[in-house]
């Protein structure tokens, strides 16, 4: 059942708009620019042009997967703007969110090209295949989608931090490491906004909001990647490199989110989350 907070009419807008706008003002990200960041801009093929190692190729495969998920931004944004039309605070956040997220696929794709890991033709083919399969909402509840976004943003930040660690372990790549650090900052800032939004719902109608949290968190999976023809192989590679998997989701996302919300595990019906945390990067 949808949380009964009256957020879809004039009264609900007056109720939630001030704290949402305040949260937006307090939610800062890196505010970086691809074209002005010298470390990213000067990315070069490994060893000045030598053959990439198997480790760097595996990392590049994961970067491509994350880039692919970020390319679904038009679908994410279309759904989000439609849902938030009646809420100024939320709508203004999504306008800012879309701008920041738009840089993610651009920057990841730029690294793939400048590093020599992918060609222009390959990336154009990837984009063409992606846009054949629009992303669909995983939940029909507005509150469940806010909760889903809260979890997904934290999970994506974790993905980027762990991929950065893998790059360091494989000999280092200053451009990729800097890029992933900036992306993780963005995603964590977005998570903080959605977390504050869910907290507002919990304050207004705890039981109904908890029901939507159970839906979003106990069967969570990251968006979009399974729409690709080789989606299962991509997920397997991410798990193989221990960038994201079920255990990481539970330990680094599920439990910390509950703690931040002040929600007890018993309120999630004493059930562990269904182990479906399909690993991908995301907007």
Instruction: Look at residue 226 in the predicted model and tell me its pLDDT.
Output: 60
Residue 28, Ramachandran bin (φ over 0: left; ψ between -120 and 50: alpha; else beta): beta
Q: What is the mean pLDDT of residues 120-138?
A: 88
**214: exposed, middle or buried (C-beta count within 10 Å: 0-12, 13-18, 19+)?**
middle
Q: How high is the mean pLDDT of the chain?
A: 81
CA within 13 Å, CB half, 92: 13
- Range 43-47 contact pairs with CB under 8 angstroms and sequence separation of 24 or more: 43/110, 43/111, 43/114, 43/115, 43/173, 43/175, 43/176, 44/114, 44/115, 44/116, 44/175, 45/115, 45/116, 46/115, 46/116, 46/173
| The two three-digit tokens of residue 82, written as one number | 């439609």
The DSSP call for residue 45 is -
In this predicted structure, the answer to whether residue 6 has a pLDDT above a threshold of 50 is: no
Per-residue pLDDT tens digits for 111-126: 999 999 999 999 999 9
CATH topology of domain 52-268: Ribonucleotide Reductase, subunit A (1.10.620)
In this predicted structure, the answer to whether residue 53 has a pLDDT above a threshold of 80 is: no
Structural domain boundaries in the chain: 52-268
Closest CA to 240 of 174, 168, 173, 162: 162
Per-residue pLDDT tens digits for 143-182: 999 999 999 999 999 999 999 999 999 888 999 999 999 9
Distance CA 186, CA 180 (A): 10
Distance CA 145, CA 128 (A): 27
Q: Looking at 14-23, 61-70, 165-174, which range is the least confident one?
A: 14-23
Are 229 and 129 spatial neighbours (Cβ–Cβ below 8 Å)?
A: yes
Closest CA to 119 of 167, 55, 64: 64
Per-residue pLDDT tens digits for 72-91: 899 889 888 888 888 888 88
Decide which of 7 and 254 is more confident: 254
Instruction: Look at residue 52 in the predicted model and tell me its pLDDT.
Output: 63
Instruction: Look at residue 12 in the predicted model and tell me its pLDDT.
Output: 44
Are 246 and 277 spatial neighbours (Cβ–Cβ below 8 Å)?
A: yes
Which range has the top average pLDDT, 52-66, 90-104, 251-265?
251-265
Q: How confident is the model at residue 14 (pLDDT cuts 50, 70, 90)?
A: very low
Q: What is the mean pLDDT of residues 37-47?
A: 59
Decide which of 242 and 132 is more confident: 242
């Amino acid at each position: 059942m949808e949380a009964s907070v009256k957020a879809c009419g004039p009264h609900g807008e007056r109720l939630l708009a001030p704290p949402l706008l305040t949260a937006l003002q307090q939610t800062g990200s890196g505010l970086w620019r691809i074209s002005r960041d010298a470390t990213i801009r000067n990315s070069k093929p490994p060893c000045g042009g030598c053959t990439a190692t198997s480790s760097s190729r595996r990392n590049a495969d994961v970067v491509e997967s994350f880039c692919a998920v970020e390319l679904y931004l038009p679908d994410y944004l279309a759904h989000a703007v439609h849902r938030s039309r009646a809420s100024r605070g939320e709508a203004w956040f999504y306008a800012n969110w879309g701008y920041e997220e738009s840089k993610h696929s651009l920057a990841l794709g730029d690294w793939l090209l400048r590093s020599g890991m992918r060609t222009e033709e390959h990336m154009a083919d990837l984009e063409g295949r992606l846009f054949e399969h629009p992303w669909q909402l995983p939940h029909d509840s507005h509150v469940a989608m806010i909760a889903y976004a809260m979890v997904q943003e934290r999970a994506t930040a974790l993905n980027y931090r762990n991929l950065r660690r893998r790059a360091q372990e494989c000999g280092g790549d200053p451009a990729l490491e800097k890029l992933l650090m900036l992306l993780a900052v963005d995603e964590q800032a977005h998570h903080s906004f959605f977390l504050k939004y869910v907290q507002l719902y919990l304050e207004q109608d705890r039981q109904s909001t908890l029901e939507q949290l159970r839906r979003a968190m106990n069967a969570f999976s990251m968006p979009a990647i399974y729409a690709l023809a080789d989606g299962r192989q991509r997920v397997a590679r991410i798990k193989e490199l221990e960038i994201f998997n079920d255990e990481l989701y539970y330990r680094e996302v599920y439990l910390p989110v509950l703690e931040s919300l002040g929600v007890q595990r018993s309120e999630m019906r004493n059930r562990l989350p269904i182990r479906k945390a399909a690993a991908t990067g995301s907007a």
